Chain A
């Protein structure tokens, strides 16, 4: 899976969780929480969806990697390559 595909998947998951939000202006380098009104359960939902869609395990201690879109994509890419 290429970086762009992972990013697209992430945005699809965001849309599924918050269908009314507009993600077109999302800055990949800025904290997701500072841009979108996701709560803790939404955040967990995103991680569980990524686990399911990418068929990877995401240990709890790795959750802090999901701060920005950039860091999330980078983390997923590294997990897919291990």
Chain B
């Protein structure tokens, strides 16, 4: 059997899909025949850059704050009006506000939880309703190795990412009989803007912890997402896939 990853105009939504891993995922789906909606919340520059560089007829870039229930509800309302079947949701939108707990402002705790965890609730809730109507769906959330490694300064981030895994396991149970699978992909240190701001000595130290001795590539994460979104991953649900080079 030769595998064919043609998504044949299926609708795929990637939150935070205009930069970093999200963009790599969105572009990989486009290359495999999907229609892609890439959302962003604040970075108009990245959205514009992707719009100009991609120019793909099946790419739609939409501003949507995943942390806002109303925004998300309105966003799905438009899909419902067109009766468009959402086949794949990739919960990728994420933020980091690192700070040791004793100095962490309530707003920095809350904003990370709001985007990383409440955003997954908002997006997945309406996705499930859409997918139930069309009797098919794949939900993939991008968590992080930070959820279990315990880096100082990341209590908010790690809690949100660990919560995402628990959320995934529960939702997978709820939707399994409806042909909707729910999984997580957990990248380690990936060469994105997300870790650009780390000090050089810290990056060196992190590299030493990776069995493969290097940071991962965005496409190396995207490939796993694409597989989980494909029909070949039909018997996988409630799982977490580590893509971390051996952490």
Residues of A within 8 A of B (CB): 41, 44-45, 48-49, 51-52, 55, 57
**Complex formed: what's the CA distance from A45 to B178 in Å?**
9
Is A48 within 8 A of B174, CB to CB?
no
Query: For this complex, into which size category does the number of interface residues on chain B fall?
Result: under 10
Is A45 within 8 A of B132, CB to CB?
yes
Is B178 within 8 A of A52, CB to CB?
no
Query: What are the residues of chain A within 8 A of B177 when measuring CB–CB?
Result: 41
Minimum CB distance partner of A50 in chain B: B133
Q: Does B212 contact A (CB under 8 A)?
A: no
Query: What are the residues of chain B within 8 A of A48 when measuring CB–CB?
Result: 129, 132-133
Residues of B within 8 A of A (CB): 80, 83, 129, 132-133, 174-175, 177-178
The 7 closest A-B pairs by CB, nearest first: A48-B132, A48-B133, A52-B133, A41-B174, A45-B132, A48-B129, A51-B133
Is B133 within 8 A of A41, CB to CB?
no
Most B CB contacts (10 A, CB to CB) among A41, A49, A55 go to: A41
Q: How far is the CB of B122 from chain A (nearest CB, A)?
A: 13
Is A57 within 8 A of B80, CB to CB?
yes
Query: What are the residues of chain A within 8 A of B129 when measuring CB–CB?
Result: 44, 48
**Complex formed: what's the CA distance from A49 to B178 in Å?**
12
A-B CB contact pairs (8 Å), 10 listed: A41-B175, A41-B177, A41-B178, A45-B132, A45-B178, A48-B129, A48-B132, A49-B133, A51-B133, A52-B133
A sample of 7 more A-B contacts (CB under 8 A), given A41-B174, A44-B129, is A45-B132, A45-B178, A48-B129, A48-B133, A51-B133, A52-B133, A55-B83
**Complex formed: what's the CA distance from A14 to B132 in Å?**
15
Query: What are the residues of chain A within 8 A of B178 when measuring CB–CB?
Result: 41, 45
Query: What are the residues of chain A within 8 A of B133 when measuring CB–CB?
Result: 48-49, 51-52
**Complex formed: what's the CA distance from A6 to B161 in Å?**
44
Q: How far is the CB of B132 from chain A (nearest CB, A)?
A: 4
Query: What are the residues of chain A within 8 A of B132 when measuring CB–CB?
Result: 44-45, 48
Q: How far is the CB of A19 from chain B (nearest CB, A)?
A: 13
Minimum CB distance partner of B132 in chain A: A48
Query: What are the residues of chain A within 8 A of B175 when measuring CB–CB?
Result: 41
Query: What are the residues of chain B within 8 A of A44 when measuring CB–CB?
Result: 129, 132
Query: What are the residues of chain B within 8 A of A49 when measuring CB–CB?
Result: 133
Most B CB contacts (10 A, CB to CB) among A48, A52, A57 go to: A48
**Complex formed: what's the CA distance from A48 to B177 in Å?**
15
Q: How far is the CB of A33 from chain B (nearest CB, A)?
A: 18
**Complex formed: what's the CA distance from A45 to B180 in Å?**
13
Q: How far is the CB of B34 from chain A (nearest CB, A)?
A: 23
Query: What are the residues of chain A within 8 A of B174 when measuring CB–CB?
Result: 41
**Complex formed: what's the CA distance from A12 to B133 in Å?**
15
Query: What are the residues of chain A within 8 A of B80 when measuring CB–CB?
Result: 57
**Complex formed: what's the CA distance from A49 to B80 in Å?**
13
Q: How far is the CB of A47 from chain B (nearest CB, A)?
A: 9
Q: How far is the CB of B74 from chain A (nearest CB, A)?
A: 13
Q: How far is the CB of B36 from chain A (nearest CB, A)?
A: 24
